[in-house]
Homo-oligomer: A and B are copies of this chain.
Amino acid sequence: MKWDGLFASRMGHMKRSTIREILKLTAQPDVISFAGGLPAPELFPTERVEEATSTALAERGQEALQYSTTEGMPELRELIAQRMSDGDLQIGPDNIVLVSGSQQALDLVCRVFLDEDDAMVIENPSYLGMLMAARPYGVRFVPIRTDQDGVVVDDLEPLLEENPKMVYVVPDFQNPQGTTLSLERRRQLVEATSGRPLVIVEDNPYGELRYSGEAHPPLLHLEARHRGSTAVDGNVVYISTFSKTLAPGMRLGWIVAHEEIIDKIVQAKQSADLHTSTFAQFVTYETARDSFLDEHVARLREVYRQRRDIMLEAMGEYFPPEVRWQKPDGGLFLMVYMPEHIDSHELLKKALERKVAFVPGTDFHLDGSGRNTFRLNFSNARPEMITEGIRRLGELLQEEVRRE
């Protein structure tokens, strides 16, 4: 039986995530891995989750294990709405749909908006999850340049001539670069896209994990303010998740948007998986409530800030001066820029021999560039491992830099 002839043509657009393949390589226990995007597992609130499960099952067990609505648990949507609302923007539970992790949010947004060959303006480099999500829909990526302040919005005008349905941005502590879209650029992006037939997809998984500098309002809020509205009735589709603030194993994310868009996303989600795990929703709600989430995020910020600083310090000590990087103000990642002659895929092979790993930058790029870049994660490894891993990588880089 030849299967290949049977598969849908969209399967030709798909490939297994390179990161996930690399993660398998780096999963040997003696490798110090800066490759994944994993939170620190020792910080997972396992006791609180256990108590939360007991409460949820004791008080509402029959509901917690039953089918539920596609929109998701009202109390959890209300909790999210309250945390995200401020004096300028009133978000209601009807603006929110709970999804099975932010990867599903990306898939559903593509499913609802993208026809074959529709254009999406996307940061170059960008988050691999969106590349994976959009490709099966036959998207046409229109890469836009980024610098230390995020998307270069000045470059947007000519790209809008491609009639993009969507502009995809990760404004806070972008994956893979760790950069943040400046307030001025945010305003400029909102103005440049205002009134146009497109949506801005604002993907913000890391926003709460800020370790330095001042927080900027989400595009969701700025767009409403720009129109003088205090309701979610504009063209921003906002995505976030509990994966980085509580636990990725829950697979619980959410989308905030205009009710008409939420309605379509709910339809698309019904056909995709009916609804997200009721059990995971109930347990997450009981875990997050009564300010636990805020307290927990404060703890995470403290630990991750320390790990970022330890990594930056070690990089300063061990990396050769030919190699550059930018201090991220939050999130889980930073990007390293090497001299042009060093290929990060080749470097990874040698790094693995020295039991240290990262993700080569090429895969995040849409135009084949980024060969001399790689991404480092600083949230997962413990401090002493970070220093040791960076030391090993530094030794290797010292050799490679001289090899020119």
Contact = CB atoms under 8 A, between A and B. Distances in A.
Interface residues of A, number: 92
Given A57-B49, A66-B44, A66-B249, A272 B272 contact: yes
A183 interface: no
In this complex, the member of A47, A112, A235, A271 whose beta carbon has the largest number of chain B beta carbons within 10 angstroms is A271
A103 B269 CA distance: 10
Task: Indicate how many identical chains form the complex.
Answer: 2
A14 interface: yes
A100 interface: yes
A41 B65 contact: yes
A273 B11 contact: no
A53 B249 CA distance: 13
A113 to B, nearest CB: 6
Interface in A248-292: 248-252, 258, 260-261, 264, 266-268, 270-280, 282-283
Given A66-B248, A267-B11, A277 B100 contact: yes
A278 B249 contact: yes
A349 interface: no
A165 interface: yes
B267 A5 contact: no
A45 to B, nearest CB: 8
Contact of A279 (B11, B37, B250): B250
A232 to B, nearest CB: 12
Interface string A90-126: 0000000000110110010001111100100000000
B50 A65 contact: no
Contact of A7 (B42, B112, B251): B112
A136 interface: yes
A199 interface: yes
A137 B283 CA distance: 34
B258 A113 contact: no
In this complex, the member of A39, A47, A275 whose beta carbon has the largest number of chain B beta carbons within 10 angstroms is A275
Interface in A325-377: none
A111 B44 contact: no
Nearest to A134: B271
Contacts of A316: none
A15 B249 contact: no
A277 B264 contact: no
Interface string A140-178: 000000000000000000000000010000000000000
Given A198-B6, A247-B279, A273 B100 contact: yes
A42 to B, nearest CB: 7
Given A1-B258, A8-B114, 19 more contacts: A2-B197, A3-B264, A6-B165, A8-B112, A11-B267, A20-B270, A46-B61, A46-B62, A49-B65, A53-B53, A65-B249, A65-B250, A101-B274, A103-B273, A103-B274, A132-B270, A133-B271, A133-B272, A136-B271
14 contacts: A1-B258, A8-B114, A20-B69, A42-B62, A44-B66, A46-B61, A63-B249, A67-B248, A107-B271, A132-B271, A133-B272, A250-B279, A272-B272, A279-B283
9 closest A-B pairs by beta carbon, nearest first, are A249-B278, A41-B62, A65-B247, A46-B61, A65-B249, A104-B273, A251-B277, A103-B274, A132-B271
